[in-house]
């Protein structure tokens, strides 16, 4: 890879570009857990499109379905017209996702991004309740459009709004304040002079990926759901990053035994990395008027095709869920060993979202930089970028996983011991 | 098409769905200007994905490039990593779009929707100026996320926000108040006690598609640009629907001879109907910090491939622009004849966005309904849905155009004369 | 007056102080139209407490009633308890103000400032209609608390808010845009895609004092009232400065023949310059819940006493109204002569609010400065401080008026001709 | 008192009236701790104008000064012109309040209400810091205009705004969540991804009167001040109700040993129940531009006179402070006995703001109703109106205090035991 090949990006692409700075090469092709650059060098991918590639890059089964669909001139852009591809996806959602789990949701196709799904969910919750306030959580990340950004925690990203972000009140996420749980939240909700206006909804991630791989306990999620239900507050689970099997089951909230009022899905829902997003809402909450929320690309039919095939291929049995949990354990063991050998390192995670947190935040970035040099793509997260966050494809092999963990382990040792 | 085939949509898809109600059939494949449903019936498409399919459905040249890219495992989902597909698109943008027009823009890849491009543009304008107010125009449409919705005019869509939409002040679009032009806008901007806070930016469509095919005169756009420049207010042209050749030239503002500070593109920019959006900004306005705006699907590489090929195929000479203007004339002639024969009908448009406006608004919907029965897809727009809006593919043949115009002409006669 | 006597103000009083800079002396006593400073120098008052002293300083009739009330230990501070003083004021309001004019208003005592009356009116209008937007007018002034400031035009004062001032949309005041009238306002209200959300209320001054003595024509006010009534929009007349006889009749809107839905009064309502404010609302609009708006000083009983006596003394016949109009004519003649002799000077006004507007704005301040040196208190107003604004006590004698006008005339000649 | 005498209030005064419903008689005169109604009946006042009458009704020393001032035609309404009365007040503030306490404050005269002082303080804090968010506390009360209401807790009062109240984030007041202190507040301020935007200021009452007589510990206030200072966040103490000696010392924050950045004063500052308010700010924070905040009644000169005399009369030695603390003890003893005899009753307070809190909230109102029948004026406060709040004049005699406490004690026994 010569630097010349990257010149155009510096000359023409906006300064807003980010990841290309951390991984300065010219990527070309990808397969499974591997990316390949223009010079033929290969990189193992522990980031998986920030969770958009749970089934790896260019999965051959999905790829064939996609090629067939394009070849036969299946509709590409369908707005929200009824199409064969959409019907088949809806049927698969009903048959594979909803019915077996006893979920009586209706399905909305907003614009094809997670932020758009979040914006839709917030609008719907406000419309239904006639209230404006949303409770979000510390260190949350929900997207960059104005509504989604308002419920996001990061100060630098919030400042980008250019207007005050309002109608929102952050609450402490599980573990944020030692031993605090819902003492504060319940108190303000039940006190009509607390100054916190009664909210339309609470929006929560079951594991905060961007926030630093913060894991909410199942009992905390159950308590949250109960607290909302008792007060007529809608519960929105933003499953954009943690859904589609990232934590084990398809929906990240399944294990906690809760049923959110509204669920947002995106990232891996198309299975192939193509833009797609869904909003699921309890049937009685589907109070949208026709066309009240829309978007040009809400009918990305090729993504419907791969989404349907991915559900059929990965979610008609429990194999993927089980292997995800096993691989998660594999990472935890490796990370546990690191935490044992080095002070100031802790581990956190669920399923195949796992984090290695450094007391000295700068070490996390150093680890990622060394890893890239050794051919591993991995990113930091957290308020101080203090966490090395692993989001490998769920379909990664044990050997690939071990290969990457070896690189990480070496990198940590190098940082910590000069080894 | 049996009704049974549509049952799943009513049972499972949210009430928010819209177009499928106007065109109640199950579409399957598409080619050029034609859609085909599951029963083999064909429909001529005068809506073209609301302007996302300027080069028709599944254009064979783009299709082949897309198939090749997928087949060779080109990266599908690339965040904002540097990729070969992105480099080639950037080079094509520079070579084909910017250099020949003397435009010194930088290119941002926001999330892949028009709304996201608008949100980015508003954020950037506010960041640069440190001001919060945006001036928009009556009957504007810019999208459905909170920031984009705030600058959109439609009351029902605005109400969907569930929170007051603020930091915006609508100004009269060209022709909105007879003979008014910029009297009001200039007066309030130059009066420091007008109560209209000095704005960060003005956002404008050169032709308001959703707003009812309202066409801004070139001299009005020039005056607007001058007025902004003189006062340090940024001019954002939202070219999401009117760009990519819809009005003739690639950028809809070219003919007016203006250079906006910021331009948003989406819809037809990928050429193939796949989600993609761009923000162009004058080089010195690229004051983004790395990662200050981002989005999971900002690296939709297959769309980069078709975008690049579409620029090479359609925009290296002036043939498409010229044929667009000629076909526009063809529609105008047909519509002119209708306006001449029937009172209460007027025409408006530029290039291949053309409207037939009915004094009795209900007639517009009736025309569209009859047209659909005859195999023509066409939609209304405007505050009262009083305008039959034509957005055919730019690549439509004269014969196809005449075929559709014949259906429309007959439909109007039927409505108006019982013929 | 020695400078030393003013030292404490510079040392201890906040920089926010204003008028003391224009009139740098130490005032002590006052009577009628005259102020006297510590050194015994007298100043004729053409500003009258910015309209809070319509009956002059320390009117002897009111003074005696006030002294009696205090001497007999009448309640001073009564919150909103029922008191004898309040009962007598309510009876006088009913007998003298409402009944003779056929006004079926209820009376609210908000906190004792005009801003508080405006805040109450806006809150009530929003509560009644369930809408948030208020239409205000260019160059309006309604006060400095956050709600009142949002409907005020002055950019410097608005900037003081420190937060964006929202939920408001300025409309052109009468004459603001040549020949425009309600073209723009009606158009946006009747177009559900205009982007201007349907407002709760319109708030208007019949003459904009702070705004530069801009006078709304009676027919314009009638059209405004009709336009609001037809659309279910509440009409709030802010009569804080123009009420209590300033333009002739007690309510400034009487001559126009309109009945506002809500009226705010303050400034001269106590008659003696003591803090007091009222909100009048059509009986059916009194939808307040008990205590929903309150304030510690809403029961300023000494002000109730003087308010009642001032109504009885000045408003049981038409003498004051008539003399106000005659004196207004006297000013107009004097100002007319000035405008005739000097290019770039125009006149405006109604009753005893009269303005002399200078094309070269700086001359207005110069005139006021010279006037002060000659013993006349007079202020500028308008977006550029381009208007010398006259607000003399309504009880001023013709001789006093002539004396002040002579000073002004000389000052203008001096400025313009070096005379 | 015949009902007929109250008819006009029902017929003409807005439903918003409140206290007159709890105390349905027609008050006429008042002296010291006593109110007298039209029929000659006397009521002992344990409410003292909600804290505006710390020196009792119509204190004879102040009364004489006021009568003299009015009689000699001292200026009544002076805007912010320099006057003799204002100079003498400023000198007294410097000599009696600031210098002895080593406070280097400047003095602003905003409009004459506590809400206006709060609005000024918030505006100033935002202007100085360039930030918009204010941290307030649960159960806070700061006023009813839009800015002041936004930092107030009461849900019903907040709903009256008719617009969302934003730019504010409530924090737990001392004792609000058992053992929580500043764990939450410090955590969110020091975490740049907490979602709580860095605030301009914190606004706090040292004792929350309206909120239910919640008393902040001195160490809590010190910790708050330290926490703000360390982070460049301004500390505003709203001393409108608790200042002027209510808790003992002149400023309620003195005992805690803190120096707020900004202090608001109103209610008892004029000493005589006349409208007046002050904002004190550290000298270097006086960044106001001339006229940036103003108000017609900011120069209520008769109130300057009584304010000055009240400072001289009550605050040149420590007698009032000491007697306030002793009388507070007297109440605490009486209340302690009640709490000891009845389960479900607790006590709280500092100096002469004391509360009796009922587990069964309805009992508090009942106590007040019975007390009124026995000739005692006393009010409830708290989120559920569960607290009987005592705010007697500081100048009340021990006998009067005992008389009132006897009535209260009897009322509680009646409620609780049928005695």
Separation in Å, CA of D90 to nearest CA in chain B: 34
- Rounded distance, CA A336 to CA A342, Å? 10
CA distances to A13, B209, B245, B258, C251 from B263, rounded to whole Å, are: 14, 17, 14, 12, 52
Whether D222 shows a pLDDT value over 70: the answer reads yes
Measured over the CA atoms of residue B303, residue B309, residue B310 and residue B315, the dihedral's sign is: positive
Among residues 165-204 of chain C, which lie with CB inside 8 Å of chain B?
Answer: 165-170, 172, 176-178, 180, 183-184, 187-188, 191-198
Taking contacts as CB-CB distances below 8 angstroms, the residues of chain B near D163 are 164
- Rounded distance, CA C297 to CA C306, Å? 16
Do residues D42 and D21 make contact, with C-beta atoms less than 8 angstroms apart? no
Q: Which of C138, C178, C188 lies at the smallest CB-CB distance from B138?
A: C188
- CA-nearest residue to B163 within chain D is D164
**Residues C79, D35: C-beta atoms closer than 8 Å:** no
pLDDT tens-digit series, residues D57-67: 999 999 999 99
Whether C2 shows a pLDDT value over 60: the answer reads no
According to DSSP, the residues that pair with C20 across neighbouring strands are: none
Separation in Å, CA of D415 to nearest CA in chain A: 26
pLDDT at D419: 58
- CA-nearest residue to D111 within chain C is C113
- Rounded distance, CA D342 to CA D388, Å? 15
A267 touches chain B (CB under 8 A): yes
Mean pLDDT across chain A? 97
Which chains touch A (3+ CB pairs under 8 A)? B, C, D
Among residues 33-52 of chain A, which lie with CB inside 8 Å of chain B?
Answer: 35, 38, 49-52
Interface mutation target, options D153, D185, D194, chain A, most CBs of A under 10 Å: D194
pLDDT at D338: 97
pLDDT tens-digit series, residues D25-57: 999 999 999 999 999 999 999 999 999 999 999
**Residues A50, B79: C-beta atoms closer than 8 Å:** yes
Among residues 148-167 of chain B, which lie with CB inside 8 Å of chain D?
Answer: 163-164
D132 touches chain A (CB under 8 A): yes
Separation in Å, CA of A337 to nearest CA in chain B: 32
- CA-nearest residue to B162 within chain D is D164
> By three-state DSSP, how is residue A223 classified?
helix
Nearest partner of A134 among B163, C365, C149, judged by Cα:
B163
Q: Using CB atoms within 10 A of its CB, is residue A39 exposed (0-12), middle (13-18) or buried (19+)?
A: exposed
**Residues A78, B27: C-beta atoms closer than 8 Å:** yes
- CA-nearest residue to B300 within chain A is A274
Q: Which of C116, C272, C291 lies at the smallest CB-CB distance from D18?
A: C291
Average pLDDT over residues A188-210: 97
Q: Which of D153, D191, D195 lies at the smallest CB-CB distance from A194?
A: D153
**Residues C112, D275: C-beta atoms closer than 8 Å:** yes
According to DSSP, the residues that pair with D37 across neighbouring strands are: D27
Q: Using CB atoms within 10 A of its CB, is residue D7 exposed (0-12), middle (13-18) or buried (19+)?
A: exposed
- Rounded distance, CA A81 to CA A78, Å? 6
Whether C322 shows a pLDDT value over 60: the answer reads yes
pLDDT tens-digit series, residues A384-407: 999 999 999 999 999 999 999 999
pLDDT tens-digit series, residues C19-46: 999 999 999 999 999 999 999 999 999 9
Whether C210 shows a pLDDT value over 90: the answer reads yes
Taking contacts as CB-CB distances below 8 angstroms, the residues of chain A near C164 are 163-164
Separation in Å, CA of B80 to nearest CA in chain D: 23
A119 touches chain B (CB under 8 A): yes
Residue the block writes with tokens 């007159």 = D20
pLDDT at B419: 58
Size of interface B-C (CB pairs under 8 A): 116
pLDDT at D5: 81
Q: How confident is the model at residue A4 (pLDDT cuts 50, 70, 90)?
A: confident
pLDDT tens-digit series, residues A52-85: 999 999 999 999 999 999 999 999 999 999 999 9
Size of interface C-D (CB pairs under 8 A): 360
The strand order across the sheet containing B201-204 reads B105-108, B278-282, B262-265, B234-238, B201-204, B134-137, B168-171
Q: Which of C168, C187, C193 lies at the smallest CB-CB distance from B154?
A: C193
pLDDT at B255: 97
Taking contacts as CB-CB distances below 8 angstroms, the residues of chain C near B155 are 192-193, 197-198
Whether D1 shows a pLDDT value over 80: the answer reads no
Separation in Å, CA of D156 to nearest CA in chain B: 19
Which chains touch B (3+ CB pairs under 8 A)? A, C, D
**Residues B163, D163: C-beta atoms closer than 8 Å:** no
Taking contacts as CB-CB distances below 8 angstroms, the residues of chain B near C381 are none
Q: Are strands B105-108 and C214-215 parallel, antiparallel or unpaired?
A: unpaired
pLDDT at D293: 94
Separation in Å, CA of D164 to nearest CA in chain B: 8
Q: How confident is the model at residue D348 (pLDDT cuts 50, 70, 90)?
A: very high
C289 touches chain D (CB under 8 A): yes
A230 CB-near residues (< 8 Å, 6+ apart): none
Q: How confident is the model at residue C419 (pLDDT cuts 50, 70, 90)?
A: low
Whether A358 shows a pLDDT value over 70: the answer reads yes
Q: Which residues of chain B have pLDDT under 70?
A: 1-3, 419
- Rounded distance, CA C96 to CA D140, Å? 41
Instruction: For chain B, list the domains and their CATH numbers.
Output: 3-59+318-417 (3.90.1150.10), 74-314 (3.40.640.10)
**Residues C155, B184: C-beta atoms closer than 8 Å:** no
Do residues A37 and A30 make contact, with C-beta atoms less than 8 angstroms apart? no
Based on DSSP, count helices (H) and strands (E) in chain B, helices before strands. Answer: 14, 17
- CA-nearest residue to B150 within chain A is A146
pLDDT tens-digit series, residues B207-253: 999 999 999 999 999 999 999 999 999 999 999 999 999 999 999 99
A7 CB-near residues (< 8 Å, 6+ apart): none
- CA-nearest residue to B149 within chain C is C195
- Rounded distance, CA D418 to CA D413, Å? 7
**Residues D106, C5: C-beta atoms closer than 8 Å:** no
Taking contacts as CB-CB distances below 8 angstroms, the residues of chain C near A163 are 164
Give all strands (DSSP E) within C1-133, no chain letters.
27-31, 34-37, 42-45, 105-108
Which chains touch D (3+ CB pairs under 8 A)? A, B, C
Average pLDDT over residues D391-412: 98
B7 touches chain A (CB under 8 A): no
Task: State the alpha helices, DSSP H only, in C180-245.
Answer: 183-190, 218-231
Average pLDDT over residues D150-154: 97
- Rounded distance, CA C142 to CA B258, Å? 40
pLDDT at C4: 76
Average pLDDT over residues D80-94: 98
pLDDT at D2: 56
Nearest partner of A213 among A350, A115, A338, A412, judged by Cα:
A350
3-state helix, strand, coil in chain D (%, to 5): 40, 20, 40
**Residues D35, C75: C-beta atoms closer than 8 Å:** yes
Whether C230 shows a pLDDT value over 80: the answer reads yes
Interface mutation target, options C193, C197, C204, C231, chain B, most CBs of B under 10 Å: C193
A406 CB-near residues (< 8 Å, 6+ apart): none
pLDDT at D4: 76
Do residues C352 and C390 make contact, with C-beta atoms less than 8 angstroms apart? yes
Backbone phi and psi for residue D266, each to the nearest 5 degrees, phi listed first: -165, -140
D291 touches chain B (CB under 8 A): no
**Residues D9, C108: C-beta atoms closer than 8 Å:** no
Q: Which of B6, B49, B272 lies at the smallest CB-CB distance from A296?
A: B49
Separation in Å, CA of B131 to nearest CA in chain C: 9
Size of interface A-D (CB pairs under 8 A): 114
Token representation of residue A57: 């890059």
Taking contacts as CB-CB distances below 8 angstroms, the residues of chain C near B154 are 192-193
Among residues 342-401 of chain C, which lie with CB inside 8 Å of chain A?
Answer: none
- Angle (CA) A160 B290 B52, round 5°: 75
Mean pLDDT across chain C? 97
Average pLDDT over residues C408-415: 96
Q: How confident is the model at residue C180 (pLDDT cuts 50, 70, 90)?
A: confident
- Rounded distance, CA A378 to CA A388, Å? 7
C291 touches chain A (CB under 8 A): no
**Residues C150, D146: C-beta atoms closer than 8 Å:** yes
Q: How confident is the model at residue A131 (pLDDT cuts 50, 70, 90)?
A: very high
pTM equals 0.97
């Amino acid at each position: 890879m010569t630097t010349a090949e990257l010149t155009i990006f510096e000359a023409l692409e906006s300064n807003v570009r980010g990841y290309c700075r951390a991984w300065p090469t010219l990527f070309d092709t990808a397969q499974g857990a591997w990316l390949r650059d223009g010079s033929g060098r290969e990189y193992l991918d522990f980031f998986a499109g920030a969770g958009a590639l749970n089934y790896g890059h260019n999965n051959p089964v999905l790829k064939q379905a996609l090629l067939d669909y394009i070849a036969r001139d299946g509709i590409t852009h369908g707005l929200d017209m009824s199409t064969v591809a959409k019907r088949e996806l809806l049927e698969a959602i009903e048959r594979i996702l909803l019915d077996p789990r006893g979920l009586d949701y209706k399905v909305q196709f907003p614009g094809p991004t997670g932020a758009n799904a979040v914006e839709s969910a917030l609008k719907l919750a406000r419309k239904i309740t006639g209230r404006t306030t949303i409770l979000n959580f510390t260190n949350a990340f929900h997207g960059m459009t104005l509504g989604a950004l308002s419920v996001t925690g990061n100060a630098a990203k919030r400042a980008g709004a250019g207007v005050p972000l309002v109608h929102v009140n952050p609450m402490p996420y599980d573990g944020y304040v030692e031993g605090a749980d819902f003492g504060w939240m319940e108190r303000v909700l039940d006190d009509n002079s607390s100054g916190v206006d009664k909210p339309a909804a609470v929006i929560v991630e079951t594991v905060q990926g961007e926030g630093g791989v913060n894991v909410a306990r199942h009992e905390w999620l159950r308590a949250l759901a109960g607290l909302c239900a008792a007060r007529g507050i809608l519960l929105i689970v933003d499953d954009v990053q943690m859904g589609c099997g990232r934590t084990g089951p398809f929906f990240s909230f399944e294990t906690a035994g809760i049923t959110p009022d509204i669920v947002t899905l995106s990232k891996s829902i198309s299975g192939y990395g193509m833009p797609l997003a869904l909003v699921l809402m309890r049937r009685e909450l589907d109070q949208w008027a026709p066309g009240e929320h829309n978007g040009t690309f809400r009918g990305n039919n090729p993504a419907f095709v791969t989404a349907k095939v991915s559900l059929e291929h990965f979610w008609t049995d429990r194999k993927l869920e089980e292997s995800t949990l096993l691989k998660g354990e594999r990472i935890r063991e490796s990370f546990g060993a690191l935490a044992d050998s080095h002070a100031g390192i802790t581990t956190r995670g669920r399923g195949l979202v796992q984090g290695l947190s450094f007391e000295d935040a700068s070490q996390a970035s150093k680890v990622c930089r060394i890893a890239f040099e050794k051919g591993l793509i991995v990113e930091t997260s957290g308020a101080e970028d203090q966490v090395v966050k692993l989001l490998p494809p769920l379909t990664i092999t044990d050997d690939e996983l071990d290969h990457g963990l070896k690189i990480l382990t070496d990198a940590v040792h190098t940082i910590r011991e000069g080894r």
